Every structure is written in structure tokens, then in C-alpha cells.
Amino acid sequence: MLKTRLTVDRGHISELKYRNSIKYAVKTIIKEEGFLALYKGALTTTLGVIPFTGCLFMCYEILEYTWGRPSSEMGPLQHFINGALAAAFAQVFTP
């Protein structure tokens, strides 16, 4: 949430609400919205991570199985390919 607010807060230095400082942004948010405002979106993020991670691991295991060798015998390139394909698949097929 903090990263998004700092990203959106653009313009001349005199117009910035958070002055491009994490410390100042945290103070301002707590002062204006309360401490719990720092955790806005945490539940939504967590609910999105669960299916993504499940899909990622499922796809990685399937790809690992298709090589026909144990994981310990695979090289770094094969692990990289599995990870990249699994992440792409999970990103496309989860919300």
C-alpha cells in the first residue's frame, strides 16, 4: 500500500503529499487514517497469493516430472526453465 501511494504521489516537490519519503508517508498515513490503514489490502493480497502459489508449485512439479529425472540430477538451466514456465502459467491462470 505504501509503495503504491508513493508511486502515485507525483508532481512538484511543494505539491507532494508524502514528500517522497517512506518515513514521512508512514507518519502521515498513521496521523490521517490510523495505524490499521498501513495494512489496507493485506487480506486481498493474501487471498491472491494462495491460489498463485498453489498453481506455481503444481506446475513446477509437473514440469519437473516431465524431464524424467530426479530434481537432484537436473541442471540450473532446467530448474530455471521450470521456474519461468511455472511462474508464467500461474500468473496467467490466477486472478
CA distance 83 to 57: 9
Q: Taking every pair of C-alpha atoms in the chain, what is the biggest distance, in angstroms?
A: 61
| Helices vs strands, H then E, count in the chain | 4, 0
Q: What is the pLDDT of residues 47-93, one digit of tens each?
A: 989 999 999 999 999 999 998 888 889 999 999 999 999 999 999 99
CA distance 59 to 35: 39
CA distance 83 to 40: 30
Q: Does the pTM exceed 0.75? A: no
